[in-house]
Amino acid sequence: MATAHDRDVLNTILNPLMPTGDVKDIEEDAPISHSHIDECRRLEQEGILAAEKKELQRAIELFTKAIEVCPIAPSAYNNRAQALQLSGRPEGEAFDYCPPNLTAEAFADLEESIRLSGGKGRSACQAFTQRAMIYRLRDDKEAAKADFSSAAALGSPFARMQLAMMNPYAAMCNAALAKVMGDLKGGQ
């Protein structure tokens, strides 16, 4: 059985660009008391399956229905925001492309997800991360950094990595470490 230290060392070797240190587990969302929460969750699951099949318009419709039956579920807004962003991107385009109108709709859904979650839990973590990516699209580095910081504080390893990449000093250190690791793998 590997110790936590062993896992940290292995993670540093396998993911040299990932910041090290204590990794916080992402907390689940607070329980929701609503008469239609089960129907909302079912619709969300169907929407996720549709999105995985690249049936993005269907996924958006299902997430919209989930919001209609339970408008206090932050995950439904978060999921619809993701589907909106994916739907506006031509096949094969990188994540950094999304038409402004879809970005605005997604942004509004992310704002609502953060509001409903109180900035806590898995939905908030994902919404902060997605919103940070939109800020990066808009070249608003300070707002992106603030949202990545919020997501990292909630336990997102992706947000932690993005913060490290945004820090020029940390990026330089990570690049040096990646070079050393590459040299070691190459037998040098």
pLDDT of residue 119: 94
pLDDT of residue 120: 95
Region 113-117: mean pLDDT is: 96
Cβ–Cβ under 8 Å, residues 151 and 125: yes
| Token couple for 78 | 């978060």
Neighbours of 54 (CB within 10 A): 11
The residue with greater pLDDT, 11 or 112, is: 112
State the chain's mean pLDDT as an integer: 80
pLDDT of residue 103: 75
Task: Write the burial class of residue 132 (CB in 10 Å: 0-12 exposed, 13-18 middle, 19+ buried).
Answer: buried
pLDDT of residue 91: 47
The residue with greater pLDDT, 53 or 32, is: 53
Q: Is the pLDDT of residue 130 over 70?
A: yes
Residue type, 118: G
pLDDT of residue 145: 95
The residue with greater pLDDT, 31 or 40, is: 40
Q: Is the pLDDT of residue 7 over 60?
A: no
Region 65-76: mean pLDDT is: 96
| Integer Cα distance of 162 and 16 in angstroms | 13
The residue with greater pLDDT, 67 or 176, is: 67
| Token couple for 82 | 């993701």
Whose structure tokens read 């953060």? 114
Q: Is the pLDDT of residue 18 over 60?
A: no
Q: 27, 2, 58, 32: which is closest to 116 by C-alpha?
A: 32
Region 162-185: mean pLDDT is: 75
DSSP-H helix ranges across the chain = 4-14, 37-52, 56-69, 74-87, 100-117, 121-137, 141-153, 157-166, 168-185
Q: 54, 70, 55, 57: which is closest to 123 by C-alpha?
A: 70
